[in-house]
Amino acid sequence: MDRSLMREREAFMKKAFSTPLEVKKRSQQPAAQEPPKKKVSKIAPPEPSSYKSMTGGSQYKFGVLARIVRHMKTRHQDGESHPLSIDEILDETNQLNAGPKVKQWLITEALPNNPKVQEVEGKYLFKPPLPVRDRKSLLKLLRQHDMKGHGGILLDDIQESLPHCDKVMKQLDKEILRITRQTDKKQIIFYHDKGINFPVDKEFQQLWRNTSVDGLQDENIEEYLNKQGIKSMQDTGPKVKPIRRKAKKSRTRATKISDNEHMQHVLQTYDAT
């Protein structure tokens, strides 16, 4: 081989070994593209008063309903008896910013199904627990409860039903009795029937107050009175005899003794001979 060719070959080999292979490979590969960055949209925090413009939350809807019921109750107690439309109610309660969904819910579900509200020809009124409007109607209702033995009426129900309740109750002070219930300290109003008033000796009053019957049944009280020679509790009411049900007799079938009749042609008798 020619020496000049050998020199060129050695020069080429030196140049090839002097260049790193990894650099060549990296230089040949295209640069990797960086993934595009996602744009994050910054949402401004809601303002503290933005709950007033919300129309979908159940808490907001029931808050609107509660405010309406309180307003209708106050109107009734102030003596206003004319019904209001839904727009008039929202106007008087300062809730005109309620959305159409809330308004539709009030008309179709909330107000018709509320026990404190009654609908009158497309408008709404407060529905009191008692049918009383004035002094005469309340006195009549108390008298009916007394005659039928229903007892008294809660003062809370009267205050909720009767317009100008405090003024009317002062007028009826001499015709009613107030009893405070021990369980919850609520007042019960009774009709004061003056026709049954009669004088009772102080001796009997003292005996009545000193006699304790807590935890005693009617049979124990009657036994105690009999020992004291008092027969007043006898025949105070119709005695109901307990109904005795006749016990059903169980039908027992007679056991039939069955012989081995199908073996008669095989049986034999062995008499002693």
pTM over 0.75: no
**Which residues, other chains included, contact 193 with Cβ-Cβ below 8 Å and sequence gap of 6+?**
146
Whole-angstrom distance, CA of residue 197 vs CA of residue 206: 18
* CATH tag, 55-126: 1.10.10.10
Predicted confidence (pLDDT) per residue in 46-67, tens digit: 443 343 444 447 899 999 999 9
User: In sequence order, what are the beta bridge partners of 188?
Assistant: 154, 179
Quick one: CA torsion of 75, 80, 81, 86, rounded to 10 degrees?
-50
Q: Which helix (H) or strand (E) holds 180?
A: strand 176-180
DSSP string, 99-128: -HHHHHHIIIIITTT-TTEEEETTEEEE--
Predicted confidence (pLDDT) per residue in 182-205, tens digit: 889 999 999 998 877 778 888 888
Candidates 70, 107, 68; CA nearest to 91 is: 68
Look at residue 217 in the predicted model and tell me its pLDDT.
Answer: 78
Candidates 157, 215, 223, 218; CA nearest to 187 is: 157
